[in-house]
Structure 1
Amino acid sequence: MRARLLLPILLLPLLFACQENREISSIDPVNWEKRTVSTPLPDSLERGSTYLSVYSQIYGETEHRTHNLTATVSMRNVNRHDTVYLDHAEYYGTTGALIRTYFQRPIYILPLETVEIVIDEIDKAGGTGANFLFDWQIRPGTNAPFFECVMISTSGQQGLSFTTRGVLLKR
């Protein structure tokens, strides 16, 4: 009788110890085709570029130990009445190598709309010094888009979060 009870008790931890293999969703981003601009953009639009630092990992205790982070990149149109157009969203790693480009043709962001890219916690490709470069277009006299990243990590009852903001680049 004891042997019959002992076997299930010993196998129970194995059931909970197995972790499912998760795919990295940041490699399969939002369906950008639904946001693609279908007509040519007017030549009168002003062009700009923004740099955004993103940390998919940070150092802990020493430079040899890192902690993975989930990063939510927010691309915000802060205009009440005008659409913003993004030509490129390029994700670069710590070494400056291009990791991925999120869309091949210009997309739109409606007035006061936010579009997000999530870099999964298990996606370590960016490393400790990852960044995005965004190329965008706006109607003259309107506000540039706002780019921000929120990075988080939790373990048990401990949590860590911080933000970064985009920097407008000179042309």
Structure 2
Amino acid sequence: MKKYILLFVFSILIFACNKDKEVSSTDFKTWSKRHLTTQLKDSLEYGKSYLSIYSQIYSVSEHKTHSLTAMVSMRNTSDTDTIYLLKAEYFDTKGKSVRTYFNKTIFLAPLETTEIIIDEVDKEGGTGSNFIFEWKIPKDSPEPLFEGIMNSTKGQQGLSFSTQSKRIK
């Protein structure tokens, strides 16, 4: 009987360890529902923003890292205008492109927010990961806001902090 119990426990452990790694909680197919189907006006202002994200941070020393869940919040700060996000590209610590979340124009209605989630198990970005966003807005409209919220909880301890984007073009 003990052999069967051990075999059962061992089987559960093996199957539990073989889970497929999720890269992101955001389903890439959902962006297609937001794709713009018409041409953008030439009068729109073009911009590019940089956002630092930390999918890992150092813990205790430079030899040990702690993984984090990162939420990238993309916000339309205008209460009257729709804005357009042209591209969201994720880069690792060395500046190498990890993935592009969308490279077809999507829209955000006034005051609308959408997110990208980098799961805690996704370590591809490393300790210095970042995003580049390309966008277009109507003239005199406020710029979009891109924020990163990183967090992790283990037992009774929690860690949380945020970053904000910087316009680079």
State the TM-score, normalized to the length of structure 2.
0.90
Aligned to 2:64: 65
- Aligned-residue offset at 1:22: 3.5
Comparing 139-148 and 151-160, the one that deviates more: 151-160
Aligned to 2:80: 81
Which amino acid counterpart does residue 21 of structure 1 have in structure 2?
A: K
- 1:1-171 matched pairs, under 5 angstroms: 4=1, 6-7=2-3, 10=6, 14=10, 17=13, 18-19=16-17, 21-26=19-24, 28-29=27-28, 31-169=30-168, 171=169
2:86 alignment partner, SS class: strand
- Aligned-residue offset at 1:10: 4.7
- Aligned-residue offset at 1:110: 0.8
The CA distance in 1 between the partners of 2:152 and 2:140, in whole Å, is 39
Asked whether the equivalents of residues 47 and 167 of structure 2 are also in contact (C-alpha less than 8 Å), the reply is: yes
Deviation per CA, 1:13-51, whole angstroms, max 9, x where unpaired?
546643451431418535211111100000000011110
State the TM-score, normalized to the length of structure 1.
0.89
Asked whether the equivalents of residues 88 and 103 of structure 2 are also in contact (C-alpha less than 8 Å), the reply is: no
Asked whether the equivalents of residues 71 and 116 of structure 2 are also in contact (C-alpha less than 8 Å), the reply is: yes
The CA distance in 2 between the partners of 1:112 and 1:106, in whole Å, is 18
Asked whether the equivalents of residues 30 and 117 of structure 1 are also in contact (C-alpha less than 8 Å), the reply is: no
Say which one has the larger Rg. 1
Q: How many residues align?
A: 166
Asked whether the equivalents of residues 90 and 100 of structure 2 are also in contact (C-alpha less than 8 Å), the reply is: yes
Gaps of at least 5 residues in structure 1 are none
Comparing 13-22 and 99-108, the one that deviates more: 13-22
- Give me the CA root mean square deviation: 1.8
The CA distance in 1 between the partners of 2:164 and 2:156, in whole Å, is 27
1:102 alignment partner, SS class: strand
Asked whether the equivalents of residues 48 and 168 of structure 1 are also in contact (C-alpha less than 8 Å), the reply is: yes
* Runs of 4+, deviation exceeding 2 Å: 6-20, 27-30
Gaps of at least 5 residues in structure 2 are none
Asked whether the equivalents of residues 77 and 144 of structure 2 are also in contact (C-alpha less than 8 Å), the reply is: yes
The CA distance in 2 between the partners of 1:157 and 1:30, in whole Å, is 36
